[in-house]
Amino acid sequence: MTSIEMIVAARSRLQGHARRTPLLSSPFLDEMAGRRVFAKAECLQHTGSFKFRGGWSALSGLAPEVRTRGVIAFSSGNHAQGVALAATRHGVPSVIIMPSDAPKLKIENTRAFGAEVVLYDRGTEDRDAIGARLSEERGLTLIRPFDEPLVIAGQATTGLEIAEQAEEEGITTADVLVPCGGGGLSSGIALALEATAPGFTVRPCEPEGFDDTTRSLAAGKIVRNATMTGSICDAIVTPEPGRITFPILQRLAGSGIAVTEEEVLRAMALAFKRLKIVVEPGGAVALAAALFHGAAIEGDAVIAVTSGGNVDTDLFAAALRRFG
């Protein structure tokens, strides 16, 4: 299981490879939310999302003889790009299994980072089964997107930075809102903050209709999503919380927050206008929760992770036209 010692070790391996992303703020957003709002801009990370942290942590943590044979991963795009770039920089091959309905930009970027891309139908095919088959056939090491201790440790380094940056801002207690798919980022940040900023509480954030973690936390057991298609927040649509990540969130996280697609699009436009960053729909759910679900948040400060910025141009332009 992931420990604070593993997280610190991952940070050491990431030194000089991952960016220390900024904690951004705007008085306009503070006024809108009725409290101080800070955005941890992981959309500015290499490959445009926090996933590079987990990809590099996992690749760099493998034994050299295992890493040399190559790796395989499955992802709607951000984990794909993170693993692809990490593998290329380590000089090893990578195969990435991606849903055919993933944003074109993410598929193109994954190939550009040096990976072989295998597409599948998200609604009818099982990506885990495809990954297991190819891994066995080619002798590749499977790097799971969230239920993998080394990946969680890498994502958790975001939490170490949040603790340091919040201290610089004089914040000692706050809800930390985190976009949540399988829970690798939210559980990792929760573990990091437990050790370094115990006054902070992680709150998983999801789109309505795909809020499996929110419903699972409320039910006290893992609950699946009814469908896997139909959300603009493709980056965080998963069948259910992870078997490793969910117990961590049960122990450390507060209740989840579900947001509407309209709130997501509005948050994307506001992030661009007020923070000067590009955020994809799945990466904007936490900021949407911070801005439009204030009644669910405690304290005079909130930190929202903007976890990714890999959005198709047409969708981003539509958000700006509607709410810009």
For residue 90, give Cα distances in angstroms to 48, 57, 65, 229, 299: 19, 12, 12, 34, 43
Tell me the pLDDT of the chain averaged across its residues: 96
Neighbours of 139 (CB within 10 A): 11
**Angstrom distance (rounded) from CA 324 to CA 319:** 7
For residue 139, give Cα distances in angstroms to 25, 66, 163: 46, 9, 39
Neighbours of 177 (CB within 10 A): 33
For the stretch 87-142, pLDDT in tens is: 999 999 999 999 898 888 889 999 999 999 999 997 888 888 888 889 899 999 99
The pLDDT, as a whole number, for residue 74 is: 85
For tokens 């990540």, the residue is: 245
Name the pLDDT band for 16 (thresholds 50, 70, 90): very high
The pLDDT, as a whole number, for residue 163 is: 98
142: tokens are: 């499977």
Residue 288, pLDDT above cutoff 90 = yes
Residue 76, pLDDT above cutoff 80 = no
291: nearest Cα among 257, 250, 263: 263
Position 118, amino acid: V
CA atoms within 13 A on the CB side of 117: 23
Name the pLDDT band for 224 (thresholds 50, 70, 90): very high
**Angstrom distance (rounded) from CA 288 to CA 304:** 9
Q: Residues near 50 by Cβ (< 8 Å), separated by ≥ 6?
A: 42, 78, 155, 158, 185, 305, 307, 308
H or E stretch at 202: strand 200-207
**Angstrom distance (rounded) from CA 315 to CA 264:** 12
The pLDDT, as a whole number, for residue 275 is: 98
Is the Cβ–Cβ distance between 303 and 42 less than 8 Å? no
The pLDDT, as a whole number, for residue 23 is: 98
The pLDDT, as a whole number, for residue 324 is: 81
For the stretch 158-207, pLDDT in tens is: 999 999 999 999 999 999 999 999 999 999 999 999 999 999 999 999 99
- C-alpha 123, offset from chain centre: 22
Taking each helix axis from N to C end, the angle separating 51-61 and 78-90, rounded to the nearest 10 degrees, works out to 40
% of the chain at pLDDT higher than 70: 100
25: tokens are: 């703020």
